[in-house]
């Protein structure tokens, strides 16, 4: 997924935890990081990323034909020997850009980094 509008729509449709993950990935574009490194940066327990990615899978497949606004290296491709995840610079720019005002009030959807308070409740947050 590389078109800014599609990345923005994915971000807007995502859960708060997925938005936090995308925000963190956007802070270091083009730099693959292991899942534990990203989880540490977010203050998350181990395996939270796997849970968040699994939770967004249905939306990703039904609304975006399986495309992702991030990249993976599996353990065979990664220099670290572990799964790595990252955003490229164009994807990160779509996440960190100020929201476009299309005749409605900006809702503060874009982030420059992860939110300071990460929701920890189970399931999807009410919208």
Task: For 19-44, write each residue's pLDDT tens digit.
Answer: 999 999 999 999 999 999 999 999 99
Residue 10: partners with Cβ closer than 8 Å, 6 or more residues away: 1, 22, 60, 63, 64, 69
Report residue 99's pLDDT band, with 50, 70 and 90 as the boundaries.
low
Higher-pLDDT residue of 75, 53: 53
Task: Report, as an integer, the average pLDDT of 116-122.
Answer: 45
CA distance 59 to 66: 8
* Res 100 pLDDT > 80: no
Percent of the chain predicted with pLDDT > 70? 75
Higher-pLDDT residue of 75, 82: 82
CA distance 94 to 76: 29
Percent of the chain predicted with pLDDT > 90? 61
Tell me the pTM. Answer: 0.75
* Res 96 pLDDT > 70: yes
């Amino acid at each position: 997924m590389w078109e800014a509008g599609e990345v923005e729509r994915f971000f807007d449709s995502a859960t708060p935890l997925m938005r936090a993950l995308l925000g963190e990935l956007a802070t270091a574009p083009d730099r693959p990081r292991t899942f534990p490194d990203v989880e540490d940066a977010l203050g998350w327990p181990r395996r939270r990323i796997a849970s968040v990615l699994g939770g967004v899978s249905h939306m990703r497949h039904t609304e975006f034909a399986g495309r992702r606004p991030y990249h993976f290296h599996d353990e065979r491709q990664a220099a670290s020997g572990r799964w790595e995840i990252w955003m490229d610079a164009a994807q990160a720019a779509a996440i960190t850009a100020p929201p476009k005002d299309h005749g409605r009030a900006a809702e503060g959807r874009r982030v420059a980094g992860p939110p300071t308070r990460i929701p920890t409740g189970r399931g999807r947050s009410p919208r």
